[in-house]
Amino acid sequence: MKLTLKIWRQKDASSKGKMVDYSLNGVEGDMSFLEMLDVLNEELINKGEEPVEFDHDCREGICGTCSLQINGEPHGPDRLVTTCQLHMRKFKDGDTIVIEPFRAKAFPVIKDLIVDRSSFDRIQQAGGYISVNTSGNTVDANAIPINKHAADEAMDAATCIGCGACVAACKNASAMLFTSAKVSQFALLPQGQVEATERVQNMVRQMDLEGFGNCTNTGACEIECPKGISLENIARLNREYYSSSLKG
Amino acid sequence: MSALIKSSLARKVVMALSGLFLVFFLGQHFVINITSVIAPDTFNSWSHFMGYNPLVQYLLQPILIAGVIIHFVMGFALELQNRAARGVRYVSYKGSANSSWVSRNMLISGAVILAFLALHFYDFWFPEMAYKYIEVNPEDPTRYLVETAHKFEPMWRTLLYIIAFVLLALHLLHGFASSFQTMGVNNKFSSGIKTFTKIYAIVIPLGFIFIALYHHFNPITH
Amino acid sequence: MGILDSKIPAGPLADKWTNHKNHINLVNPANKRNIDVIVVGTGLAGGAAAATLAELGYNVKTFCYQDSPRRAHSIAAQGGINAAKNYQGDGDSNYRLFYDTVKGGDYRSREANVYRLAEVSANIIDQCVAQGVPFAREYGGLLDNRSFGGVLVSRTFYAKGQTGQQLLLGAYAAMNRQINRGKIKSYTRHEMMDLVKVDGKARGIIARNLVTGEIERHSGHAVVLATGGYGNVFFLSTNAMGSNVMAAWRAHRKGAFFANPCYTQIHPTCIPVSGDHQSKLTLMSESLRNDGRIWVPKRKEDAIAIREGKLKPNQLKEEDRDYYLERRYPAFGNLVPRDVASRAAKERCDAGFGVNKTGEAVYLDFAAAIERYGKEKALTTGIHNADKNVITKLGKEVVEAKYGNLFQMYEKIVDENPYETPMMIYPAVHYTMGGLWVDYNLQTTIEGCYAAGEANFSDHGANRLGASALMQGLADGYFVLPYTIGDYLSNDIRTGTIPTDSPEFDAAEKDVTDRLNKLMGGKGLHSVDYYHKKLGKIMWNKCGMSRNAKELQEAIEEISALRADFWENVKIPGSSNGMNQELEKAGRVADFLELGELFAKDALTRNESCGGHFREEYQTEEGEALRDDENFKFASAWEYKGEPKDAVLHKEELVYENIELKTRSYK
């Protein structure tokens, strides 16, 4: 098929960017979206132009590196997939596809379609862990039985890949779904209880410091999340936050 | 505690709590108003009670006004902050793919309701304040129905009220259930809460529309 | 013994590690604050090592090319992690895990290392649960286990199909705790360009900031390389796009021996290549072989008709199908080890029986499983005389509960419904057992330079068992390296900070800059991918699932020529000042072009078949691998001498005192 691509090009963080049109032939339905961009880049390189830079790594939907706002949606029109798993058969011959970086003040553009998501790392560093020494001298793994339902729920929250689609989709660029996933995982497990108060306070404080917006419960994040992380986690974060505020 | 006041979550709580308070007030307002259609004497006596009971006048009324102001001021402040959080705007943003129009446009429905409130105060609250505290008229427990019905005689006002009630319904459709999520309620009762809030968000404004139309088409002539 | 000293402690196998820990030197806590350690790579091994070293008190700097430590490719591991916990009471023990691993590795790994791995495996599970890793649990609240290929017990712990992700996020969380304490400084979007040696010891690295393009100097008293495997030398593999050999290869060029480069694991169940545009391959979990039956058509004309789309697989009658694994290996059937299953698929496709457009795919069919489960389900739910439709419906539900997420992934990629039509699969490069040679302490042949995880060669011999990679990465990172490195660092308590303005750093930085300039100065005929794909084709065709002397010799010559062409004619747009992904790729491919040749040379030298290394000249009459313990019971460690063809082989004889060497048989 033949496509028209409108792609955000920006030389570096301090330059002003703009949309640039490209037309691309010979795209096959079996290609993934990123393989389609590979084809474009190969053409650009052979023409002596600079290729379009975009983040990607595992290309199997788990590392969370790939991003891209495709036709106004993070990871494109398909559900429960990352951009690397989005296939071109979801598009038609003659389509125009608008490709932009994830937009948020807390995700500044580094180059073209690549953004800096280190704000996510800083939120995790503020408290996304259980303070246990890694020397191996812990109690036996089966010493504390954990209700299967709670363990499964913790796992569902823990599947977050940190891609930032929730922020990109949210009209407020809020990072609540991301932050709540980690808070929830630990809130659901007995091991996470000891530091629960400090954890939620510190992570929310860092989230605010990074300049993410406020959650207004539109639910866009849950729909666009490639891992289907549920809004229940945000409610749980809220509960954890209020109860920790009243305690502390 | 101090962290709570500064954080984004605290501001959300303020929105949710003030919103829930206003929702409650709305229900109470509706219950009184519907009596203007079904039991005019009750309407007059309840209205008179609300207008002259010192607890209502000097405690609840200021709280209500404060609630309205907080809800609006905070709403605008959050909206500004949220817009800033995006930074550079998208060239293409397909919000309809993942969220409802009402949830994304609470500012629009809210602003219309704010404008309506101005009209509503102009219509009822200011005259009432003037009647009681400036002109210092004597108490008249029978005047309320006539005054109310009289207001809905002009078509334009009835229409404006109807438009405002439609926007109010939209605002409630997202806001009511959303405030439960903000308060951390998302559990097995959630689908029940959602259904209840949907019914409430539609029935109450519809009721107000009915009352407005009723008085418009049944003018009280003396 | 030659110059290779494995430093295996004396004493009985089961006591070696404890004795060793009791006798090595320690660094006191106050002195640890004066010692800097550089960790390159933040996957399971690197992340775990960095967290533990920082917790012990060392000043740690971590480097990763990704934008966050959380994205290292350990995250993609699906199945699980082995540990000799014996929670199931099925007779598991440290010895049994040790034995299975050595046997699975076709008797080409070091006994003492593998035993230590088995010994610390149980600690890993305790550790990870304490960190909040949400492993799967039974209704009683205790940890659940599943079984994996090649063993007789249930010892695999898992977190859905995302065990690697959860373990990595555990290590990442442990790192974050230390970053928050200021004990780890994390450098993301940084690539190690070279190792710096001062007085023969590893004392730092030269790194490139991938955002600004700046070349940076970082010093430390020791350097840990936990940079993963080199499967991307094949271009197409299940590795991440950025996975590369650069750090290990730079260390190799500086004196670290590279061991067993030819030991590559080719995983039998991956989604086949769909066309020339393909950039990477996706693995479908090994667990599918529990229920899927693998087949190709019996008659070549049927295979051709299927390839041309004139015939559908479901139209082929039972007697016209060749269930070749069940035919060749009646005892193990579809559950033979990975290397055996992969070779058998290649054999059928090479003979012309492949079933997709490219002729490189076989069927993995769940129809029989659906029928079997459906009948069972019908009976247990009290439906007697169930008709075919009901059985199929019930069977599909059971299969969906077991493998739903994998089936969904397959459908997204291939656009075919695997419940209705058989899956197509083909082997793909997955893991590399070879890597930097290390001694028992995980130190390479460069003093102060350590290698952990997939980057070293130590534990898996010639073939790795399923669910053992995660175990090894975390064992190295959490429990082995932090102890053994202290023994070395105890000599450095008075050294003080290593200056970065020494002539050694000057020289190393100049080398890096010169190399970048040389890359940028290519004539500009072909893109980096052009060369990478060519290299991949040579590797796959001549150094892939089966190898022979003639083709390996050709490969050596072709790769050498391709390398010369690359340096002459590569085209890299943009500049080296600032972000330039083509330049990043070029540096990596340049090193693959050297490694690939050494790989072929190693395979050519090893005149036997073992594990993932199958030499066509060395097979039994039935086409099975023929090991030669008399002449090849050693690990090959290659010393860099300029061109790969000049590399010098050092042999580490493998001593088996606790296990008797046997021939693997799956008939």
Q: Which tokens sit at A188?
A: 């659901």
Q: Do C145 and C73 have their domain in common?
A: yes
pLDDT in tens, B28-66: 999 999 999 999 999 999 999 999 999 999 999 999 999
Quote the CA–CA distance of B63 and C109 in Å, as a whole number.
78
Min Cα–Cα distance to chain A from B120, Å? 28
Inter-chain touch B82–A216, beta carbons under 8 Å = yes
For residue C277, pLDDT over 60 is answered with yes
Q: Does A201 touch chain B (CB under 8 A)?
A: yes
Inter-chain touch B7–A6, beta carbons under 8 Å = no
Inter-chain touch B97–A73, beta carbons under 8 Å = yes
Range of the domain at C385: 268-428
The answer to which of A126-130, C101-105, C218-222, C284-288 has the lowest mean pLDDT is C284-288
Q: Using a CB-CB distance cutoff of 8 angstroms, which residues of chain C are in contact with residue A132? A: 127, 130-131
Average pLDDT (A2-6) is: 98
Confidence class of residue C288 from pLDDT cuts 50, 70 and 90?
A: confident
Whether C8 is covered by a domain: the verdict is no
Inter-chain touch A235–B99, beta carbons under 8 Å = no
Whether C7 is covered by a domain: the verdict is no
Element (H, E) at B159: helix B155-182
Q: Using a CB-CB distance cutoff of 8 angstroms, which residues of chain C are in contact with residue A226? A: none
pLDDT in tens, A200-248: 999 999 999 999 999 999 999 999 999 999 999 999 999 999 999 998 6
pLDDT at position C152 is 80
Min Cα–Cα distance to chain A from C473, Å? 14
Q: Which of C428, C456, C471 is the last residue before a domain boundary?
A: C428
Confidence class of residue B165 from pLDDT cuts 50, 70 and 90?
A: very high
Q: Do C389 and C449 have their domain in common?
A: no
Query: What DSSP assignment string belongs to chain A?
Result: --EEEEEEE-SSTTSPPEEEEEEE----TTSBHHHHHHHHHHHHHHTTPPPPP---SSSSS-S-----EETTEET-SSSS--GGG-BGGGS-TT-EEEEE----TTS-EEETTEE--HHHHHHHHTT-S----TTS----TTSS---HHHHHHHHHHHT-----HHHHHSTT-B-HHHHHHHHHHHHTSGGGSTTHHHHHHHHHHHHHHTT-B------HHHHH-TT---THHHHHHHHHHHHHHHH-
Q: Are A178 and A107 in contact (CB under 8 A)?
A: no
Q: Using a CB-CB distance cutoff of 8 angstroms, which residues of chain A are in contact with residue B193? A: none
Q: What is the pLDDT of chain C when averaged over all its residues?
A: 95
Among A156, A179, A214, which would you mutate to test the B interface (most chain B Cβ atoms within 10 Å of its Cβ)? Answer: A214
Q: Using a CB-CB distance cutoff of 8 angstroms, which residues of chain A are in contact with residue C71? A: 57-58, 63-65, 162
Element (H, E) at C192: strand C190-198
CA distances from A109 to A9, A22, A95, A117, A200 (A): 10, 21, 26, 9, 28
Inter-chain touch A42–C529, beta carbons under 8 Å = yes
Q: What is the ipTM of this complex?
A: 0.98
Q: Do C148 and C89 have their domain in common?
A: yes
Average pLDDT (C535-546) is: 96
pLDDT at position C287 is 79
Q: Do C64 and C112 have their domain in common?
A: yes
Inter-chain touch A216–B13, beta carbons under 8 Å = no
Q: Are C634 and C610 in contact (CB under 8 A)?
A: no
The catalytic residue among C293, C338, C464, C606 is C338
Whether C167 is covered by a domain: the verdict is yes
Query: Which chains border A (3 or more CB–CB pairs < 8 Å)?
Result: B, C
pLDDT in tens, A68-79: 999 999 999 999
pLDDT at position C458 is 87
pLDDT in tens, C541-571: 999 999 999 999 999 999 999 999 999 999 9
The answer to which of C47-61, C72-86, C393-407 has the lowest mean pLDDT is C393-407
Q: Are C34 and C493 in contact (CB under 8 A)?
A: yes
CA-closest candidate to residue A8, choices C577, B91, C572, C210: B91
Q: Does B5 touch chain A (CB under 8 A)?
A: no
pLDDT at position C3 is 82
Confidence class of residue C2 from pLDDT cuts 50, 70 and 90?
A: low
Whether C665 is covered by a domain: the verdict is no
Q: Do C511 and C561 have their domain in common?
A: yes
Secondary structure string (H, E, C) spanning B63-109: HHHHHHHHHHHHHHHHHHHHHHHHCCCCCCCCHHHCCCHHHHCHHHH
Q: Do C342 and C243 have their domain in common?
A: no
Residue contacts between A and B (CB atoms, under 8 Å):
144
Whether C637 is covered by a domain: the verdict is no
Q: Do C512 and C452 have their domain in common?
A: no
Q: Are C67 and A65 in contact (CB under 8 A)?
A: yes
Whether C29 is covered by a domain: the verdict is yes
Among A82, A117, A134, which would you mutate to test the C interface (most chain C Cβ atoms within 10 Å of its Cβ)? Answer: A134
* pLDDT higher at C161 or C605: C605
- The model carries a pTM of 0.96
Q: Do C317 and C409 have their domain in common?
A: yes
Q: 3-state class of C376 per DSSP?
A: helix
Sorted by where each starts, the structural domains of chain A and their CATH numbers stand as 3-110 (3.10.20.30), 118-247 (1.10.1060.10)
Inter-chain touch C579–A53, beta carbons under 8 Å = yes
Average pLDDT (B84-97) is: 96
Min Cα–Cα distance to chain A from C11, Å? 24
For residue B4, pLDDT over 90 is answered with no
For residue C487, pLDDT over 70 is answered with yes
Q: Which of C68, C142, C166 sits opposite A162 (nearest CB)?
A: C68
Average pLDDT (A3-25) is: 97
HSE of A73 in the Cβ direction (CA atoms, 13 Å)? 23
Secondary structure string (H, E, C) spanning C381-426: CCCCCCCHHHHHHHHHHHHHHHHHHHHHHHHHHHCCCCCCCCEEEE
Contacting A residues, span 136-195, partner chain B, CB-CB under 8 Å: 169, 171-174
Query: What DSSP assignment string belongs to B34-67?
Result: HHHHH-HHHHHHHHHHHHH-HHIIIIIHHHHHHH
Q: How would you label A117-129 residue by residue, b for 16+ Cβ within 10 Å and e otherwise? A: bbbbbbbbbbbbb
For residue B222, pLDDT over 80 is answered with no
Q: Using a CB-CB distance cutoff of 8 angstroms, which residues of chain A are in contact with residue B178? A: 216-217
For residue B2, pLDDT over 60 is answered with no
pLDDT at position C150 is 67
Inter-chain touch A217–B181, beta carbons under 8 Å = yes
For residue C455, pLDDT over 90 is answered with yes
Inter-chain touch B90–A19, beta carbons under 8 Å = no
Min Cα–Cα distance to chain A from C140, Å? 7
Q: Is C473 exposed, middle or buried (0-12, 13-18, 19+ CB in 10 A)?
A: buried
Among B6, B9, B96, B190, which would you mutate to test the A interface (most chain A Cβ atoms within 10 Å of its Cβ)? Answer: B9
Inter-chain touch C479–A136, beta carbons under 8 Å = yes
Q: 3-state class of C476 per DSSP?
A: helix
Q: Do C564 and C620 have their domain in common?
A: yes
Any idea what the CATH number is for the domain that residue C401 is in?
3.90.700.10
pLDDT in tens, C83-116: 999 999 999 999 999 999 999 899 999 999 999 9
Per cent of chain A over pLDDT 70 is: 100
Q: Do C485 and C551 have their domain in common?
A: no
CA-closest candidate to residue A101, choices A64, A53, A57, A41: A53
Any idea what the CATH number is for the domain that residue C78 is in?
3.50.50.60
Inter-chain touch B82–A98, beta carbons under 8 Å = no
pLDDT at position C79 is 82
Q: Which of A103, A213, A242 sits opposite B82 (nearest CB)?
A: A213
CA-closest candidate to residue C338, choices C402, C427, C453: C427
Whether C125 is covered by a domain: the verdict is yes
At residue C45's C-alpha, the angle toward residues C39 and C46, to 5°, is 20
Domain tally, chain C:
3
Q: Are C130 and A139 in contact (CB under 8 A)?
A: yes
pLDDT at position B1 is 42
Q: Do C481 and C507 have their domain in common?
A: no
Q: Do C349 and C207 have their domain in common?
A: no
Q: Using a CB-CB distance cutoff of 8 angstroms, which residues of chain A are in contact with residue C527? A: 42, 45-46
For residue C1, pLDDT over 60 is answered with no
pLDDT at position B93 is 97
Q: Is the dihedral of CA B127, B131, B133, B135 positive or negative?
A: positive
Whether C644 is covered by a domain: the verdict is no
Min Cα–Cα distance to chain C from A163, Å? 10
Min Cα–Cα distance to chain A from C51, Å? 7
pLDDT at position C259 is 98
Q: Which of C375, C405, C428 is the last residue before a domain boundary?
A: C428
Q: Does B119 touch chain A (CB under 8 A)?
A: no
pLDDT at position C404 is 84
Q: Which of C48, C482, C573 sits opposite A48 (nearest CB)?
A: C573
Min Cα–Cα distance to chain A from C280, Å? 7
All residues at 6 or more sequence positions from B58 whose CB lies less than 8 Å from its CB, including other chains: none
pLDDT at position A197 is 95
Per cent of chain C over pLDDT 70 is: 99
Known active-site residue C250: no
Q: Which of C428, C449, C473 is the last residue before a domain boundary?
A: C428
Average pLDDT (B169-187) is: 95
Q: Are A240 and A187 in contact (CB under 8 A)?
A: yes
HSE of C573 in the Cβ direction (CA atoms, 13 Å)? 16
Quote the CA–CA distance of C121 and C143 in Å, as a whole number.
15
Average pLDDT (B151-155) is: 95
φ, ψ of residue C81 in degrees (nearest 5): -135, 130
Question: Which residues pair with residue C258 across a beta bridge?
Answer: C436, C638
Secondary structure string (H, E, C) spanning A70-94: ECCEECCCCCCCCHHHCEHHHCCCC
Average pLDDT (C164-171) is: 98
Q: 3-state class of B169 per DSSP?
A: helix
Inter-chain touch A62–C76, beta carbons under 8 Å = yes
Confidence class of residue A182 from pLDDT cuts 50, 70 and 90?
A: very high
CA-closest candidate to residue A169, choices A161, A178, A160: A178
